[in-house]
Structure 1
């Protein structure tokens, strides 16, 4: 037997049992006596199902059958390696037995998960709910049958540029989502008329969570359970060095299922052991991948107060997160790796990272995320920006392209995972304006923006009418021409977008003094800008100039801040930062008020 991490089958590159690729992250391989290779977990499942022969050549697998004979244990308790696999080995075979133990532990963990149940979505009930939400919105819109779900506006830094001079000017596309329901909606309507969700909570139960932390985490999970409607589905995964399915899969949140889950949280989650975030991530993602039915919105919430006992890169694992599912991450206290959690959130289809500094703020942080998820109005947005001729968009300052990148094209598409009730997105870009002398009478630059997205309420594909850009290009302009006045709204959003970019640079700067220099330079730049006296700019300056007691606190807080300003989405903020409060929606505020009673 061997369990190599990276090898290929001489006969085939797939596991003949599951038909998946042999080489996969975290999947041990097993070579039988007949020299055929399979995923260890797949072969373990096959043997558990009383198949004691090689699936390819029918050679008996008696040795493996004898090892794998312990019944699968409850998913509420850690998986134990069978006693037969742990018989006293010789010192020369210690590596073999260590690998076998790990493989068996992985196999039994997956076997336990494979027995998890999934309550199927009541698709007829979801359609009926969608119709009720649509009717409520139409009543608020005076009975019109077509609702302008998202409004779009376009802005350029200047109204005109001289045609005989080349320049780079900024432009902006602004998306605005309306309220999901009218402001006159009752509490009952707000509770009942919202999009059903599939939610997986992946939470740390390692030894560092002992005491008040684990107690408050349980209260927060109780809060989340209570906020679920009967059409929502919820799963809870806890992890230390292994992952545990505390809910037995995705459960429809009927009253009875809620009570069962409350009991599971109270009795089965205990702080102990080390930390391996990947075990919880993998189980949570697998639950979402294996769904036979889906609610309109899917999400995963990950919380940890520490870091892995060994370094891991989860980029490949995060690429398996299903489309449309967003991952929000939460770093609790000063022991977590903010860089890892923020990366997981970015790779998780534009999720948020939240630094939770206070013990009693877990519920508020999760409530803010719930307020975001429960008010989703649009998904899979494609914002198509194009200009006639050879006018190139050269740089983008939007987090939706992650970093300013060279884009020598007159057509660019911004991709957003979702847009929630009352949220705005200001996509700032830079436009290369070349010298134009061959057409002195018709040099105006014309551009346009169109949006395609999925309506989260009814699943319809929406295509918006195009919205134009226009930049006048006369042969001459006087210095006092109104066409040369900087657009105030664009200047404000440029300050916001550039601050997000500078904050990310500062977080990644190992030299703390150099990081402070970057923030001070950005603060001075905002002070000299047209929109310097705007309340948002004043708050940005205040937050940039705050002096932290440690570089670690600086890094975690600034990571939280750069993601909020880059995404223009509120997440729980520490008492030292105020500038992101402008992004809070009424839905988030409502769920935060409900969460306070769980502390």
Structure 2
């Protein structure tokens, strides 16, 4: 019986919980105690003395393998738990083991369940400064405990839970929190490892080596055709304005003029540090696999932030709580952040508005600010809470009112702190999540398959950790006195044309390394009988370098077109045609979504079909342009997701909104069940995004890199940009 009992423990050690009475051969347990382990998603099973547990052989082998793997690594700090490593090992009632220091800190956060199987514990680990255990408490794992350590592993019996009036309030919400979040950790002047290696306190080591840290942003203009007859005027002549952010310079520079260093020593180019606030849904619908995958994804984010980056965590269900204040991701900060994330328990409703309000408050109240700031918001459900209007009626929250003007570019503020939203699964509120991202200048991603959440986060932070341009503003001036601006087609970017039609501007904001932006400018071109060419436009841009905090001013050359007597037949520029197709497809998506929301799915699919026909006849798609081919495929996918109302509600709406977000901001978003499975998703992916997704997938596949913390690498420009 003893052998069978041990096999049953191994088979049931991870996911299945059982209550089994002690037999005479089971001398591992006290006479009066049963083994009790209750986990979320698995029903408790009680067996009599005569009942024998006999799992299938395949399940037994898998459980045994997983059990061996789990015993090698602490699931809280992800470090090794080999005996003799100088750390006490705590083995819980459910048979899962952890570093004692990790699990004791986890319990300190208010958690009294197993972080792996969610089993409720009768006894919890505590730390006692005395060498002698208090009366009624027992020392555990004395072999693994260092002899010279003054702390002792003790157990405290958990008292019966008090009745809670509102069962949907998670345990983490019980401790008080400050009313003003001005307790953010100081940025300080700590040198990163590369600066210490270079032997300089200058935040830009390239300056000492005489090398430029990076090139400037590039500006170019392309007319739709190179020539217009001098006798003809045009009221709708299109010019493409193209921006490309500085490249990441391969991520390495040589250290010269350092006599104490090896000749071939290289260091990582510094990057702009970030303040990141994650707002995470821990409502009851996140229980089980979803929450486990969210914790894994957050662990990846934490491990890839540098010591100058700061992270805060907001958790929300029926209400919201600041789980972890804005702290630098030093070794200590990472460890505490991992413990905080692993203490999450899913329970309650979905109050997106309250979570967003708390996340915005952290950004507003912080005393110091890193050059880059962003919020990540993830939810898998509908907002089950409403706010009252002035008339007393209940209505959905106005998310713009929840964000301070400094975050959504309101009055007195031209630029925003973006909120990148992630809709998780088939039941999330895609419309609200898309609205939040649009207001703030962020992107909306649709995570259809649970396993893609880490890759989606990786793509997002891959961009955020490579910001090279801040608060870029583009101005467009007409040169020839007869040239006037008709329109600026800038997608979701804020644009403005002066009343006289001679000047225009576009607020572009932040750019990641190697990121590109394209805007279409429609102008009126007069007849010009006396000249062989006409000067049309001049473009200027001004932005802030996030590292040096210096303002950079750039100016393009004048754009001129030839004015022959006869222009002849000239094909439209492929570059201009490509962007016209992108904007045309985005407009079709918006129109189709409007029709679908009114219940007209037939009309919606017809709009998308007509857009595909226009695309198929374009110059760029006939030249096999990858973006246009991907747009064609995406429009067909959207049609399929509008087959009926059920399919549209489950995935069609979110798929269309994530596509709209991507094409209107010209930035990569997660779409459906893949991050890099198609050229469509890669259309706006930068090298740094691609590198971070590759790194995420390597950890998921269990490569050697997943066995150790990954240090942030920047710039990440070694991979060629897919086009």
**TM-score category by the smaller chain?**
0.7 to 0.9
Pairing of 1:238-249 with structure 2 (within 5 A): 238-247=315-324, 249=325
Residues 578 and 514 (structure 1), Cα distance of their counterparts in 2 relative to 1, 3 Å cut: farther
CA contact (8 A) 1:307 1:337 kept: yes
The within-5 A match list for 1:191-270 is 193-247=270-324, 249-267=325-343, 269-270=344-345
- Preserved contact between residue 608 and residue 635 of structure 2 (Cα < 8 Å): yes
Matched, 1:175 2:243: yes
- Contact 2:286-2:346 at 8 Å conserved across structures: yes
> What do the CA deviations read for 1:296-334 (whole angstroms, capped 9, x no partner)?
111100000112113211112234344552211100011
Equivalent position SS for 2:418: strand
Checking the alignment, whether the CA contact within 8 Å between 2:275 and 2:373 is kept in structure 1 is: yes
Report the 3-state secondary structure (helix = DSSP H, G, I; strand = E; otherwise coil) of the residue aligned with 2:620. Answer: coil
Aligned pair partner of 2:233 in 151, 162, 165: 165
Q: C-alpha separation between the residues in 1 aligned to 2:510 and 2:310?
A: 20
Distance 1:327 1:343, change over 3 A: same
Structure 1 gap ranges (5+): 1-73, 78-106
* CA displacement at 1:524 relative to structure 2: 1.3
Give the whole-Å Cα distance in 2 for the aligned partners of 1:404 and 1:515: 31
Q: 2:405 aligns with which of 279, 303, 320?
A: 320
1:458 matched to 2:548:
yes
Residue 250 of structure 2 aligns to a residue whose secondary structure is: coil
Give the SS at the match of 2:279. strand
Q: 1:446 aligns with which of 536, 540, 548?
A: 536
- Asked if the contact 1:392/1:407 (under 8 Å) is kept, the reply is no
TM-score of the superposed pair, with normalisation by structure 1: 0.74
1-side partners of 2:658 and 2:222: how far apart? 28
Distance change >3 Å, CA 215–CA 145, structure 1 → 2: closer
Counterpart Cα distance in 2 of 1:324 and 1:450: 21
2:215 paired residue number: 148
Q: Retained in 2: the 8 A contact 1:371–1:588? A: yes
| Partner residue, 1:583 | 684
2:711 is matched with which residue?
none
Paired position in structure 2 for 1:395: 487
Q: Is contact 1:181–1:190 with CA below 8 Å preserved after alignment?
A: no
- Checking the alignment, whether the CA contact within 8 Å between 2:378 and 2:423 is kept in structure 1 is yes
Aligned to 1:346: 438
Deviations 1:177-202 (A, max 9, x none): 2322326679x988773221110000
| 1:280 matches 2:355 | yes
RMSD of the alignment, in Å?
Answer: 3.1
Q: Which residue of 2 aligns with 1:296?
A: 371
The number of aligned residues is: 484
Separation (CA, whole Å) in 2 of partners of 1:192 and 1:159: 41
Q: Distance in 1 between matches of 2:226 and 2:212?
A: 36
Contact 1:324 1:379 in 2 (8 A): no
Cα shift readout 1:73-104 (whole Å, capped 9, x = no counterpart): x9979xxxxxxxxxxxxxxxxxxxxxxxxxxx
Q: Is the 8 A contact 1:331 1:337 kept in 2?
A: yes
- Residue 30 of structure 1: aligned partner: none
Out of 557, 566, 571, the residue aligned to residue 467 of structure 1 is: 557
Judging changes above 3 Å, is the alpha-carbon distance between structure 1 residues 554 and 358 closer, same or farther for their aligned structure 2 residues? same
Question: In structure 2, how many angstroms separate the alpha carbons of the residues matched to 1:374 and 1:506?
Answer: 35
Contact conserved, 1:298 with 1:324, CA < 8 A, in 2?
Answer: no
Alignment of 1:540 with 2:631, yes or no, is yes
Cα contact 2:497–2:505 (8 A) shared by 1 = no
Moved more, 364-373 or 108-117: 108-117
* Partner residue, 2:648: 551
How many angstroms does 1:536 deviate by? 1.8
- Correspondences of 1:60-209 after superposition (within 5 Å): 112-114=178-180, 117-123=183-189, 125=191, 134-136=204-206, 143-145=210-212, 147-162=214-229, 163-182=231-250, 193-209=270-286
- Secondary structure of 2:426's partner? coil
- Paired with 2:473 and 2:495, the residues of 1 have a C-alpha distance of 18
Match of residue 20 from structure 1: none
In the alignment, what sits opposite 2:427?
A: 335
Quick check: 336-345 or 235-244, which moved more? 336-345
Q: Separation in 1 of the partners of 2:327 and 2:213?
A: 35
Distance 1:133 1:223, change over 3 A: same
- Cα distance in structure 2, aligned partners of 1:253 and 1:498: 43
Going from structure 1 to structure 2, the CA distance change for 1:284 and 1:575 (only over 3 Å counts) comes to: closer
Give the distance between the partners of 1:524 and 1:404, measured in 2 at CA: 32
Retained in 1: the 8 A contact 2:469–2:544?
yes
Q: Deviations over 1:22-60 (max 9, x none)?
A: xxxxxxxxxxxxxxxxxxxxxxxxxxxxxxxxxxxxxxx
| Contact persistence 1:75–1:246 (CA under 8 A) | no
Instruction: Name the structure 1 match of 2:123.
Output: none
Matched position secondary structure for 2:672: coil
Q: Report deviation, 1:545.
A: 1.5
Unaligned runs of 5+ in 2: 1-107, 112-172, 255-264, 387-395, 408-414, 702-723
Instruction: Verify the 8 A CA contact 2:228 2:567 in the aligned structure 1.
Output: no
Inter-CA distance 175–190: structure 2 relative to 1 (3 Å threshold): farther
- Measure the CA separation in 1 of the matches of 2:577 and 2:515: 20
Larger RCO (CA within 8 A; separation ≥ 6):
1
Shift in CA distance, 235/400, structure 1 to aligned 2, threshold 3 Å: same
CA distance in 2, matches of 1:225, 1:146: 27
The separation in 1 between residues aligned to 2:270 and 2:682, in whole angstroms, is: 26
> In structure 1, what is the Cα distance between the partners aligned to 2:655 and 2:401?
27
Q: What is the rounded CA distance, in whole Å, between the counterparts of 1:253 and 1:331 in structure 2?
A: 26
Query: Is 2:577 aligned against 1:491?
Result: yes
- Whether the aligned pair in 1 keeps the contact of 2:181 and 2:365 (CA below 8 Å) is no
TM-fit CA distance, 1:541 = 1.0
The answer to whether residue 658 in structure 2 is matched with residue 560 in structure 1 is yes
Q: Deviations over 1:380-434 (max 9, x none)?
A: 0011111132423222222244699998622111111211111111111222234
> Which residue is 2:465 aligned to?
374
After superposition, what is the alpha-carbon deviation per residue over 1:415-466, rounded to whole angstroms, capped at 9, x for unaligned?
A: 11211111111111222234x37x6447724310011000112111000133
**Residues of 2 paired with 1:235 and 1:445: CA distance?**
51
Check 1:137–1:383 CA distance in 2 against 1; reply closer, same or farther (3 A cut). Answer: farther
Q: Relative to structure 1, is the Cα distance of residues 138 and 539 closer, same or farther in structure 2, using a 3 angstrom cutoff?
A: farther
Indicate conservation of the 8 Å contact 1:502/1:519, yes or no: yes
